[in-house]
């Protein structure tokens, strides 16, 4: 997809845009109230641009984006990404003005989150500066809902209205331990520093542990923050280009082209008439002429892993023997175990360099070779929509073949 098509696919929503050159280097990160309108303005007339902007525009080869619910959220994400990515065309604010910053008073027993215009040597941590004070105040409200730290200058003797509004955990009345409060401070810092993948992983692990310890109220708080943060998962931080294949390529770190995708699934009832399916997608669209069906031959009983081994082995043994074009990505319907057996079979065939992922139905976790934790993509991710479409088609094709064989068996018995 060309740059013009990429821009035309941008939504008319607030968000952050990331401009890259032909080598993939990040050139510039910006925010917008309307992504398509703002980015389009860069390409209206080169005569309007200053030397610096003109130089930037001349190097842009790709544009990625992160849509947000509000302009205030875009302001926060823009700042975090600039800190994380250090784009060459983003410069510090040096015009002498006093811009607002976010401040966390980490030296205090129960740290506060506030807006300030003065940076002191007081042991606090500062984030910013931000160019829009009004948006920053709105952003602060969003942060307080997700990370309910106190804002009072001095801890009162009893709770205030913010506790009742669930905007503070109530350290004034001993409603929260220092350990629990400190954990939320750490989460907020990870968020403001743009370390979203690390934050999602931390929250996921903490939620599981709290559930095991039967601390269900705290586990529910972690779940709530995970839901809020799902749209900023770092594995989306490459903030995929507007087209789904481009986004998926960036997320998975695929260096070459990504056009041909082959996906596998198995289907059986208590091991009876076990079958496997292969579906083929090219440039995001199914090519049914390349679909393949497998009747399981070497596995008996309910052994899904063994069945997946068999169909992967059969498919690519034949592909290698006949010197057929190999796919750019293999998708396995299943979690870490299914992925592992597929990788094992590919390694035996000398194909361990092929990109392979597993997608588990529960929470749509995406398992990737060499990564301990699965990738969790936001619901609106175009890459996720593509993977779901591919996975669901492989599942449908396997079930239809399985039903056909079961029906044939029934009619044979009747006859």
Please check whether residue 190 lies inside any domain of the structure. Answer: no
The whole domain housing 97 covers 92-168
Q: How far apart are CA 214 and CA 101, in angstroms?
A: 39
Which of 32, 66, 85 terminates a domain? The answer is 85
Question: In the prediction, which pLDDT does 343 show?
Answer: 96
Same domain for 37 and 67, yes or no, is yes
| Model pLDDT for residues 223-280, shown as the tens digit of each residue | 777 766 654 444 333 336 347 888 888 888 888 899 999 999 988 754 466 888 999 9
Task: Tell me what pLDDT residue 47 has.
Answer: 52
CA 56 to each of CA 5, 20, 237, 245, 361: distance values in angstroms, whole numbers, following the listed order: 19, 10, 21, 25, 42
Rounded (5°) CA angle 275-276-280: 150
Indicate whether 158 belongs to any domain: yes
| Length of the chain measured in residues | 415
Q: Look at strands 329-333 and 260-269 and give their pairing.
A: parallel
Provide the whole-model pTM. Answer: 0.46
Residue 9 lies inside a defined structural domain of this protein = yes
Same domain, 397 and 254: yes
Do 76 and 110 lie in one domain? The reply is: no
Q: Is residue 345 part of a domain?
A: yes
Confidence class for position 161, pLDDT limits 50, 70, 90: confident
Could you tell me the CATH number of the domain that includes residue 357? 3.30.420.340
Least confident of 208-217, 325-334, 340-349: 208-217
Q: What is the pLDDT of residues 22-33, one digit of tens each?
A: 888 889 999 988
Position with higher pLDDT, 343 vs 53: 343
Angle between helices 133-146 and 71-85 (to 10 degrees): 90
Structural domain includes residue 181: no
**Average pLDDT score over residue span 112-140:** 84
Asked, for residue 57, whether it belongs to a domain, the answer is yes
Asked if 279 and 361 sit in the same domain, the reply is yes
Average pLDDT for residues 84-89, to the nearest whole number?
80
Statement to judge: residues 260 and 391 lie in one domain: yes
Task: From 168, 185, 210, give the residue that closes a domain.
Answer: 168
Instruction: Check whether residue 100 and residue 76 sit in a common domain.
Output: no
Q: Is the pLDDT of residue 184 over 50?
A: yes
145 lies in the same domain as 281: no
| Of the candidate ranges 8-12, 16-20, 316-320, the one whose mean pLDDT is the lowest | 8-12
DSSP 96-119: S----EEEE-TTSSS-BEEEES--
Residue 412: predicted pLDDT:
45
What CA–CA distance (Å, rounded) separates 400 from 396?
6
Whether the pLDDT of residue 168 is over 70: the answer is yes
Within a domain: 306: yes
pLDDT above 90 covers what percent of the chain?
22
Residue 335, CA distances (Å) to 53, 78, 234, 264 in order? 46, 34, 20, 12
Average pLDDT over residues 152-165: 77
What does the pLDDT read at residue 410? Answer: 46
Domain count, the chain: 3
Quick one: pLDDT at residue 253? 85
Looking at 38, 66, 85, which one is the last position of a domain?
85
Express the helix, strand and coil content of the chain in percent, nearest 5 each.
Answer: 45, 20, 35
Please report, for the domain that includes residue 28, its CATH number: 3.40.1440.10
Q: Are residues 155 and 286 in the same domain?
A: no
């Amino acid at each position: 997809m060309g740059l013009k098509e990429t821009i035309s696919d941008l939504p008319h929503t607030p968000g952050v845009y990331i401009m890259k050159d032909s080598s993939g280097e990040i050139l510039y990160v910006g925010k917008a109230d309307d992504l398509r309108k703002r980015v389009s303005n860069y390409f209206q007339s080169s005569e309007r641009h200053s030397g610096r902007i003109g130089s930037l525009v001349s190097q842009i080869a790709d544009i990625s984006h992160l849509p947000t619910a509000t302009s205030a959220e875009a302001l926060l994400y823009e700042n975090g990404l600039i800190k994380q990515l250090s784009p060459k065309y983003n410069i510090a604010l040096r015009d002498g003005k006093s811009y607002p910053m976010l401040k966390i008073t980490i030296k205090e027993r129960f740290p506060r989150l506030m807006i300030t215009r003065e940076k002191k040597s007081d042991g606090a941590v500062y984030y910013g500066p931000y160019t829009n004070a009004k948006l920053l105040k709105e952003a602060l409200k969003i942060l307080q809902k997700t990370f309910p730290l106190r804002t009072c200058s001095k801890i009162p003797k009893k709770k205030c209205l913010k506790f009742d509004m669930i905007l503070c955990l109530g350290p004034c009345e001993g409603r929260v331990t220092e350990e629990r409060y400190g954990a939320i401070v750490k989460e907020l810092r990870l968020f403001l520093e743009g370390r979203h993948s690390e934050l999602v992983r931390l929250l996921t692990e903490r939620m599981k542990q709290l559930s095991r310890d039967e601390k269900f109220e705290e586990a529910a708080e972690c779940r709530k923050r995970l839901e809020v943060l799902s749209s900023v998962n770092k594995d989306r931080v490459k903030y995929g280009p507007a087209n789904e294949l481009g986004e998926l390529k960036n997320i998975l770190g695929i260096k070459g082209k990504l056009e041909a995708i082959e996906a596998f699934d198995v289907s059986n009832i208590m091991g009876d008439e076990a079958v496997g399916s292969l579906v083929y997608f090219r440039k995001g669209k199914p090519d049914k002429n390349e679909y393949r069906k497998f009747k399981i031959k070497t596995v008996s009983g309910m052994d899904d892993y063994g069945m997946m081994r068999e169909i992967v082995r059969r498919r690519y043994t034949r592909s290698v023997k006949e010197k057929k074009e190999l796919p750019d990505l293999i998708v396995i319907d299943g979690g870490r175990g299914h992925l592992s057996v597929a990788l094992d079979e590919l390694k035996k065939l000398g194909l361990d360099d092929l990109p392979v992922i597993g997608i588990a139905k529960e929470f749509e976790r995406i398992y990737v070779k060499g990564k301990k934790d699965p990738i969790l993509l936001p619901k609106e991710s175009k890459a996720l929509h593509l993977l779901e479409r591919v996975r669901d088609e492989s599942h449908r094709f396997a079930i239809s073949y399985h039903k056909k064989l079961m029906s044939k068996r029934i009619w044979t018995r009747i006859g």
